Structure 1
Amino acid sequence: MEQPHLPGVGGPVIAPVSTTFQPTAMMGITLPDIVLASTDNVLFYVHRTRLIAVSANGFNHLIPFYLPLKVDDRAPSILVSERAEVLNIVLHTIYDISSTQFLPSFETVSEATNVLARYGVDLKLHAGPSQSLHSLISSFAPYRPIDTFALAASHNLEDVAVASSAHLLAYRLSTLTDELAERMGSIYLKRLVFLHLGRIEALKALLLTPPHRHQVVPDCNEEVQPALMRAWALASAHLLWDARPNLSTHLLQATLLFFEKDIKCELCKACLHERITVLMREWAAVKVCTRWSG
């Protein structure tokens, strides 16, 4: 493939070339037949048929659907409005090639996702659980959970939103900005709020069931056994006073066992331990992400 002829330039242009999208980068048995030039003059050799196939608007009307693109038998080149690091992610997504090795910032990935939508790419088809864009966006969830969730929500990327929501249990909803709330939209905002509220309500419901009472024995009769119920009530009140959706099973167990010191009966202690074991298992099973059950 010859050196591309950039619009408005009289002769060949010597410019950096993408390490992935080079003149010899074949798709099947087809060599690249078009060049995209970024605003910082990096060249990306790609396949016109690939871009047209994934775009609903001719790559934002930059590429004709049917007309051949030839300029003096050179590789036709199109100037785009994105810098190279953004265009690089856009094209990796279109070709479903991982771009995590470039370590792009969240801002760059967010911009590239918006650009893909502008270029008419169906993001839902390119952000499934097994695809590169899903992995790339989701990689920010542990560090930028609310931003990742808002980005996924703004494009209705269900799987990415679900993956990132599991990292939002510690997020304080009171700190949510109007900008983030507007970006994620009412549906995903509601789901996030309901995730938090749902876990708190589930915890309340679980704590309502106290340990069962054992049979009356000489050292622990019906007058003594209420000590176990009082200890459970105190522990439950302590937990619910400042309960958070991200309450760990370890803290749950430690708090409930702390009040064991007020119980003298060994059988009552055994009932307490049994209830705590079941409670931890039930709490671990409570939903930790925003996916609807139905």
Structure 2
Amino acid sequence: MTTCMENTDWDFVLQFVSEPLDLEVHHVPEKLIAERSNSAVPVQVPTPPDSFAASPADSPAEDDTLVSVSTTFFPGAQIHSLPPDLVLLSSDSVFFYVHTHALHGASENGFAGLLPPSSKAPPGQLGPVVMVSESSTILNIVLHAVYDMSCSHYSPPFESLTAALSVLRTYGLSAKRYAGPSTPLHSLLLSHAPLHPLELYALAASYDLYELAVSTSCHLLSFSLASLTDDMADRIGAIYLKRLFFLHFGRADALKRLLLPPPHPHAPTNDCDFTEQKRLTRAWALASAYLAWDARPDLSTNAIESALAPLGDQLSCELCRKALQDRLKTLIVQWSVVKRTI
């Protein structure tokens, strides 16, 4: 039945082909090939679409929605042998694709109770999406610490690192474990010591990060303890504040003890007896008293040498000059080995 209907349709169409068309045909003189090619208006042949391109009717509607994904924790990141099964969404709408077992193993409270009970994601999906209250900058630092990776290439500001340590505690992550010695976060924090020594020392003290406080304390030798505010003293705490005071006072006392002995006298000669050598002793006492009066924990060896070395210009005895040089070398060596940290 179907075949008969198709034949009938084709007969209906072909009857118009068999009938002559009443069209007027104007005979146009043919041109040579050369004349055809020299036409003023070039003929443009449209480029056919690629065979694999979809037709316009099949192309999907453009979606203007933008999704921000972490450049480190994205679905195809090679940070773990297993694919991610959990998505963390920061407060500024950045997606982080992580592993539930990694967060469970690092956190003591189930990442503040946000982790789902099961880590098995349905086939073809990347797990549930969990929203957190932290920004992408803070969350990025925390996740790098959990995965034992450095985030120094992001150059996070010191304020963000300070906030990240607080977030570690919120999510049940030990600051001593993830900001302790030999960790990437410890090195990143320590890189801010030259610019933020007091703030970093207070931060280390508040989390009892002793090694970080020790490494930072040498940058506080030039800090004036008299300018310490009550709020900062409260943040540092009694123990680490005492250690900082003892560092300053201990170095000042050590400098006074090292300056006290004068150059060793030499055997009397015809030109320089014990009475003549007392001139060097008095000059040394005056110069060392000047240094000891304003003894600073950060006093450099160059400052000591520039204050005491000119004493030799007033001496005519070569043995006294030699004794002064030896005493100055000994002083510089002794001062350089005095403890510079808490």
When the two structures are superposed, what TM-score results if normalisation uses the length of structure 2?
A: 0.77
Q: Which has the higher contact order (CA 8 A, sep 6+)?
A: 1
What is the deviation of 1:223? 1.3
Tell me the SS of whatever aligns to 1:245. coil
**Cα deviation digits, residues 240-274 of structure 1 (max 9, x gap):** 12121010011111111133334332211110110
Secondary structure at the counterpart of residue 88 of structure 2:
strand
What is residue 49 of structure 1 aligned with on the other side? 101
Match of 1:273 in 2: 325
Are 2:187 and 1:135 aligned?
yes
Asked whether the 8 Å contact 1:96–1:131 carries over to 2, the reply is: yes
Q: Does the CA contact (< 8 Å) of 2:100 and 2:119 recur in 1? A: no
Residue 207, structure 1, aligned to residue 259, structure 2: yes
Q: Which residue of 2 aligns with 1:236?
A: 288
Aligned to 1:5: none
Instruction: Report which of the two structures shows the higher radius of gyration computed on alpha carbons.
Output: 2
Opposite residue 59 of structure 1, the aligned amino acid is F
1:286 is matched with which residue? 338
Query: Matched residues in 2 for 1:154 and 1:192: separation?
Result: 14
Aligned partners of 1:63 and 1:123: how far apart in 2? 20
The alignment's C-alpha RMSD in Å is 1.7
Deviation at 1:71, TM superposition (A): 8.2
Letter in 2 for 1:43: F
TM-score by length of 1: 0.90
Question: How far 1:28 sits from its partner (Å)?
Answer: 3.7
Q: How does 1:24-43 map to 2 (within 5 A)?
A: 24-43=76-95
Which of 223, 231, 236 in structure 1 is aligned with 2:275?
223
Query: Which residue of structure 2 aligns with residue 6 of structure 1?
Result: none
Q: Secondary structure at the match of 1:203?
A: helix
The residue matched to 2:276 in structure 1 has which SS? coil
Q: Secondary structure at the match of 2:269?
A: coil
Q: Which runs of 5+ in 2 are unaligned?
A: 1-64
Does structure 1 retain, via aligned residues, the 8 Å contact 2:86–2:126? no
- 1:1-294 aligned at under 5 Å gives the runs 15-64=67-116, 66-68=117-119, 75-290=127-342
Identity across the alignment (%): 47
Counterpart secondary structure, 1:43: strand
1: CA distance, partners of 2:114 / 2:78: 22
Cα distance in 1 for residues equivalent to 2:155 and 2:77: 22
Most deviating of 150-159 and 262-271? 262-271
CA distance in 1, matches of 2:190, 2:68: 30
Q: For 2:169 and 2:175, how far apart are their aligned partners in 1?
A: 7
Deviations 1:196-229 (A, max 9, x none): 1111111011112221100001111121111111
**Number of corresponding residues:** 277
